[in-house]
Amino acid sequence: MLALAALLRRSRRALVAVALPAAVWALMYAGVWLPPAAGSGPAGIRVASQNLRAGNPDPAGTVAPLAEAGVDLLALQEVDDAGRLTADLRQRYPHRASVSTVALWSRYPIRDSAGVDTGLGWTRALRAVVDTPQGDLTVYVVHLGSARAGDTATRDETVRTLAGAVRSDRADRLLVLGDLNTATTDRVFTPLTRLLRDAQADAGQGFGFTWPSSVPVTRPDHVLYRGLTPTTADVLRTPDSDHRAVTAGFRW
Protein backbone atom coordinates (compact mmCIF):
# COMPACT_ATOMS: atom_id res chain seq x y z
CA MET A 1 0.00 0.00 0.00
CA LEU A 2 2.86 2.38 0.77
CA ALA A 3 4.51 1.54 -2.55
CA LEU A 4 1.25 2.27 -4.39
CA ALA A 5 0.91 5.62 -2.63
CA ALA A 6 4.53 6.44 -3.51
CA LEU A 7 3.90 5.62 -7.19
CA LEU A 8 0.74 7.68 -7.31
CA ARG A 9 2.59 10.65 -5.83
CA ARG A 10 5.62 9.93 -8.00
CA SER A 11 7.84 10.38 -4.97
CA ARG A 12 11.32 8.89 -5.30
CA ARG A 13 12.04 9.40 -1.61
CA ALA A 14 8.91 7.52 -0.64
CA LEU A 15 9.80 4.67 -3.01
CA VAL A 16 13.28 4.42 -1.46
CA ALA A 17 11.74 4.45 2.01
CA VAL A 18 9.50 1.54 0.99
CA ALA A 19 12.22 -0.35 -0.90
CA LEU A 20 14.69 -0.50 1.97
CA PRO A 21 12.50 -2.38 4.50
CA ALA A 22 11.13 -4.51 1.66
CA ALA A 23 14.67 -5.56 0.74
CA VAL A 24 15.48 -6.38 4.36
CA TRP A 25 12.29 -8.45 4.63
CA ALA A 26 13.15 -10.32 1.43
CA LEU A 27 16.65 -11.14 2.68
CA MET A 28 15.25 -12.46 5.96
CA TYR A 29 12.24 -14.42 4.74
CA ALA A 30 12.23 -14.97 0.96
CA GLY A 31 14.21 -18.19 1.44
CA VAL A 32 11.19 -19.97 2.91
CA TRP A 33 9.70 -20.10 -0.61
CA LEU A 34 12.69 -21.90 -2.08
CA PRO A 35 12.49 -25.69 -2.56
CA PRO A 36 13.40 -27.36 0.75
CA ALA A 37 16.85 -28.89 1.03
CA ALA A 38 15.74 -31.76 3.28
CA GLY A 39 12.55 -32.74 1.45
CA SER A 40 13.59 -35.80 -0.55
CA GLY A 41 13.08 -39.55 -0.59
CA PRO A 42 10.11 -41.65 0.48
CA ALA A 43 8.61 -41.19 3.93
CA GLY A 44 8.78 -44.14 6.31
CA ILE A 45 6.14 -42.58 8.54
CA ARG A 46 3.67 -39.72 8.10
CA VAL A 47 2.29 -37.67 10.97
CA ALA A 48 -0.27 -34.91 11.43
CA SER A 49 -1.43 -32.58 14.18
CA GLN A 50 -4.82 -30.88 14.34
CA ASN A 51 -6.47 -28.60 16.87
CA LEU A 52 -10.09 -29.70 16.47
CA ARG A 53 -11.67 -26.63 18.15
CA ALA A 54 -13.68 -27.19 21.32
CA GLY A 55 -17.32 -27.75 20.48
CA ASN A 56 -16.56 -28.96 16.96
CA PRO A 57 -19.87 -30.37 15.64
CA ASP A 58 -18.18 -32.96 13.41
CA PRO A 59 -14.66 -33.88 14.64
CA ALA A 60 -14.62 -37.01 12.51
CA GLY A 61 -15.23 -34.86 9.44
CA THR A 62 -12.34 -32.62 10.45
CA VAL A 63 -9.83 -35.47 10.64
CA ALA A 64 -11.18 -37.37 7.62
CA PRO A 65 -8.92 -35.56 5.09
CA LEU A 66 -5.88 -36.42 7.22
CA ALA A 67 -6.82 -40.09 7.44
CA GLU A 68 -7.50 -40.19 3.71
CA ALA A 69 -4.05 -38.68 3.09
CA GLY A 70 -2.47 -41.79 4.63
CA VAL A 71 -1.25 -40.31 7.92
CA ASP A 72 0.16 -42.97 10.27
CA LEU A 73 0.06 -40.95 13.50
CA LEU A 74 -2.71 -38.47 14.20
CA ALA A 75 -2.24 -36.02 17.10
CA LEU A 76 -5.31 -34.05 18.17
CA GLN A 77 -5.96 -31.22 20.60
CA GLU A 78 -9.22 -29.86 22.06
CA VAL A 79 -10.77 -33.32 21.90
CA ASP A 80 -14.21 -33.21 23.53
CA ASP A 81 -15.13 -36.89 23.12
CA ALA A 82 -12.27 -39.30 22.37
CA GLY A 83 -14.61 -42.27 22.48
CA ARG A 84 -16.81 -40.84 19.75
CA LEU A 85 -13.79 -40.24 17.53
CA THR A 86 -12.41 -43.73 18.22
CA ALA A 87 -15.59 -45.28 16.85
CA ASP A 88 -14.96 -43.47 13.56
CA LEU A 89 -11.19 -43.99 13.45
CA ARG A 90 -10.90 -47.54 14.84
CA GLN A 91 -10.57 -49.32 11.51
CA ARG A 92 -7.70 -47.16 10.29
CA TYR A 93 -6.15 -46.34 13.69
CA PRO A 94 -6.60 -49.27 16.10
CA HIS A 95 -4.31 -47.82 18.79
CA ARG A 96 -4.96 -44.75 20.94
CA ALA A 97 -3.48 -42.85 23.87
CA SER A 98 -5.30 -39.91 25.43
CA VAL A 99 -5.05 -37.56 28.39
CA SER A 100 -7.59 -34.85 29.07
CA THR A 101 -8.21 -33.03 25.76
CA VAL A 102 -5.17 -34.31 23.82
CA ALA A 103 -4.93 -37.66 22.09
CA LEU A 104 -2.85 -39.73 19.70
CA TRP A 105 -4.30 -42.23 17.24
CA SER A 106 -1.84 -44.64 15.64
CA ARG A 107 -1.69 -47.33 13.00
CA TYR A 108 1.03 -48.97 15.08
CA PRO A 109 0.98 -50.33 18.65
CA ILE A 110 1.51 -47.85 21.46
CA ARG A 111 3.69 -49.56 24.05
CA ASP A 112 3.58 -46.91 26.73
CA SER A 113 1.84 -43.60 27.38
CA ALA A 114 1.56 -41.12 30.24
CA GLY A 115 0.47 -37.56 30.88
CA VAL A 116 3.09 -34.80 30.83
CA ASP A 117 3.01 -31.85 33.21
CA THR A 118 3.58 -28.59 31.33
CA GLY A 119 2.90 -26.31 34.27
CA LEU A 120 -0.72 -25.50 33.45
CA GLY A 121 -2.12 -26.89 36.68
CA TRP A 122 -3.91 -29.63 34.72
CA THR A 123 -2.51 -32.18 32.30
CA ARG A 124 -2.81 -31.17 28.66
CA ALA A 125 0.04 -33.13 27.10
CA LEU A 126 1.04 -36.77 26.76
CA ARG A 127 4.09 -38.83 25.93
CA ALA A 128 3.73 -42.12 24.06
CA VAL A 129 6.16 -44.70 22.70
CA VAL A 130 4.99 -46.01 19.33
CA ASP A 131 6.24 -49.39 18.09
CA THR A 132 6.71 -48.62 14.38
CA PRO A 133 8.09 -51.08 11.80
CA GLN A 134 11.35 -49.08 11.88
CA GLY A 135 11.64 -49.14 15.68
CA ASP A 136 10.47 -47.17 18.69
CA LEU A 137 9.37 -43.58 18.19
CA THR A 138 8.64 -41.30 21.15
CA VAL A 139 5.78 -38.88 20.49
CA TYR A 140 4.64 -35.91 22.56
CA VAL A 141 1.16 -34.55 21.85
CA VAL A 142 0.94 -31.09 23.37
CA HIS A 143 -1.43 -28.16 23.80
CA LEU A 144 0.47 -25.40 25.58
CA GLY A 145 -0.97 -22.44 27.45
CA SER A 146 -2.69 -19.67 25.53
CA ALA A 147 -1.11 -16.28 24.90
CA ARG A 148 -3.07 -13.05 25.03
CA ALA A 149 -1.97 -9.51 24.25
CA GLY A 150 0.04 -8.39 27.25
CA ASP A 151 -0.45 -11.73 29.02
CA THR A 152 1.93 -14.48 27.91
CA ALA A 153 3.28 -15.62 31.30
CA THR A 154 1.37 -18.93 31.34
CA ARG A 155 2.30 -19.73 27.76
CA ASP A 156 5.95 -18.84 28.38
CA GLU A 157 6.11 -21.10 31.44
CA THR A 158 4.60 -24.04 29.54
CA VAL A 159 7.19 -23.66 26.77
CA ARG A 160 10.01 -23.76 29.33
CA THR A 161 8.47 -26.73 31.15
CA LEU A 162 8.01 -28.70 27.93
CA ALA A 163 11.60 -27.93 26.93
CA GLY A 164 12.74 -29.31 30.28
CA ALA A 165 10.82 -32.55 29.69
CA VAL A 166 12.30 -32.95 26.21
CA ARG A 167 15.80 -32.16 27.48
CA SER A 168 15.62 -34.96 30.04
CA ASP A 169 14.07 -37.46 27.60
CA ARG A 170 16.64 -40.04 26.46
CA ALA A 171 14.72 -41.19 23.38
CA ASP A 172 16.84 -41.19 20.22
CA ARG A 173 13.90 -40.55 17.89
CA LEU A 174 11.38 -38.03 19.17
CA LEU A 175 8.50 -35.91 17.85
CA VAL A 176 6.59 -33.05 19.42
CA LEU A 177 3.21 -32.53 17.75
CA GLY A 178 0.63 -29.99 18.73
CA ASP A 179 -0.69 -26.51 19.26
CA LEU A 180 2.16 -24.76 21.05
CA ASN A 181 0.52 -21.31 20.88
CA THR A 182 3.88 -19.89 19.80
CA ALA A 183 5.39 -18.98 16.43
CA THR A 184 8.90 -20.21 15.70
CA THR A 185 9.99 -16.57 15.31
CA ASP A 186 9.04 -15.85 18.94
CA ARG A 187 12.12 -15.68 21.17
CA VAL A 188 10.18 -17.57 23.84
CA PHE A 189 10.34 -20.59 21.52
CA THR A 190 14.15 -20.72 21.72
CA PRO A 191 14.35 -23.34 24.52
CA LEU A 192 12.59 -25.80 22.20
CA THR A 193 14.41 -24.89 18.99
CA ARG A 194 17.72 -25.48 20.76
CA LEU A 195 16.64 -29.08 21.32
CA LEU A 196 14.54 -29.92 18.26
CA ARG A 197 14.31 -29.17 14.56
CA ASP A 198 11.23 -27.77 12.82
CA ALA A 199 9.86 -29.97 10.02
CA GLN A 200 8.24 -27.03 8.21
CA ALA A 201 11.51 -25.08 8.17
CA ASP A 202 13.52 -28.07 6.96
CA ALA A 203 11.16 -29.82 4.54
CA GLY A 204 8.28 -27.43 3.86
CA GLN A 205 7.82 -24.49 1.54
CA GLY A 206 6.35 -21.16 2.51
CA PHE A 207 5.46 -19.88 5.95
CA GLY A 208 3.08 -22.71 6.80
CA PHE A 209 0.62 -20.46 8.64
CA THR A 210 -2.23 -22.33 10.36
CA TRP A 211 -4.35 -19.82 12.32
CA PRO A 212 -6.99 -18.61 11.85
CA SER A 213 -7.96 -21.26 9.36
CA SER A 214 -9.86 -18.92 7.01
CA VAL A 215 -7.00 -16.44 6.54
CA PRO A 216 -3.98 -17.73 8.50
CA VAL A 217 -1.43 -15.16 9.62
CA THR A 218 0.65 -17.13 12.15
CA ARG A 219 1.78 -20.66 12.93
CA PRO A 220 1.07 -21.91 16.46
CA ASP A 221 0.87 -25.56 15.30
CA HIS A 222 4.10 -27.49 14.90
CA VAL A 223 5.88 -30.73 14.08
CA LEU A 224 9.24 -30.70 15.87
CA TYR A 225 11.68 -33.59 15.71
CA ARG A 226 15.06 -35.13 16.45
CA GLY A 227 16.74 -38.34 15.33
CA LEU A 228 14.79 -38.45 12.03
CA THR A 229 15.09 -37.00 8.54
CA PRO A 230 12.08 -35.02 7.29
CA THR A 231 11.00 -35.68 3.73
CA THR A 232 7.88 -33.50 3.52
CA ALA A 233 6.02 -30.87 5.53
CA ASP A 234 2.77 -29.16 4.65
CA VAL A 235 -0.40 -27.49 5.90
CA LEU A 236 -3.88 -28.80 5.16
CA ARG A 237 -7.15 -26.92 5.58
CA THR A 238 -9.78 -29.09 7.25
CA PRO A 239 -13.49 -28.40 7.88
CA ASP A 240 -15.04 -27.12 11.12
CA SER A 241 -11.81 -26.09 12.85
CA ASP A 242 -10.27 -22.68 13.43
CA HIS A 243 -6.78 -24.19 12.89
CA ARG A 244 -5.34 -25.76 9.77
CA ALA A 245 -3.61 -29.10 10.24
CA VAL A 246 0.16 -29.57 9.99
CA THR A 247 1.61 -32.70 8.38
CA ALA A 248 5.09 -34.11 7.91
CA GLY A 249 6.81 -37.23 6.58
CA PHE A 250 9.99 -38.73 7.97
CA ARG A 251 12.50 -41.45 7.20
CA TRP A 252 14.91 -43.15 9.55
Per residue in 173-196, pLDDT tens?
999 999 999 998 899 999 999 999
How would residue 6 be classed by pLDDT, with cut points 50, 70 and 90? confident
**9 pLDDT higher than 80:** no
Half-sphere exposure of 99 (CA within 13 A, CB side): 18
2 and 62 share one domain? no
In this prediction, residue 37 carries a pLDDT of 62
Length of the chain: 252
214 and 139 share one domain? yes
77 and 15 share one domain? no
Say how many domains are in the chain: 2
How would residue 84 be classed by pLDDT, with cut points 50, 70 and 90? confident
- Mean pLDDT value across residues 7-30: 69
In this prediction, residue 75 carries a pLDDT of 98
Distances (CA, A) of 241 to 17, 51, 113, 130, 163: 40, 7, 27, 27, 27
Q: Where are the beta strands (DSSP E) in the chain?
A: 45-51, 73-77, 95-99, 102-106, 110-115, 125-132, 135-143, 174-179, 197-198, 221-226, 229-236, 245-251
pLDDT tens-digit series, residues 89-129: 999 999 999 999 999 999 999 999 999 999 999 999 999 99
Query: Residue 175: CB partners within 8 Å, gap ≥ 6?
Result: 47, 73, 137, 138, 139, 140, 223, 224, 225, 228
29 and 45 share one domain? no
Q: Are 231 and 23 in contact (CB under 8 A)?
A: no
In this prediction, residue 144 carries a pLDDT of 98
194 and 117 share one domain? yes
97 and 210 share one domain? yes
Report phi then psi at 179, rounded to 5. -95, 105
48 and 90 share one domain? yes
13 and 86 share one domain? no
- Mean pLDDT value across residues 83-91: 90
> What is the rounded CA–CA span in Å between residue 37 and residue 42?
14
Tell which residue, 42, 107, 43, has the closest CA to residue 74.
107
Report phi then psi at 181, rounded to 5. 50, 30
In this prediction, residue 95 carries a pLDDT of 97
pLDDT tens-digit series, residues 129-167: 999 999 999 999 999 999 988 899 999 999 999 999 999
**28 pLDDT higher than 70:** no
29 and 41 share one domain? no
143 and 44 share one domain? yes
Print the domain residue range for 127: 37-251
- Mean pLDDT value across residues 212-222: 97
Report the chain's mean pLDDT, rounded to a whole number: 92
pLDDT tens-digit series, residues 70-82: 999 999 999 998 8
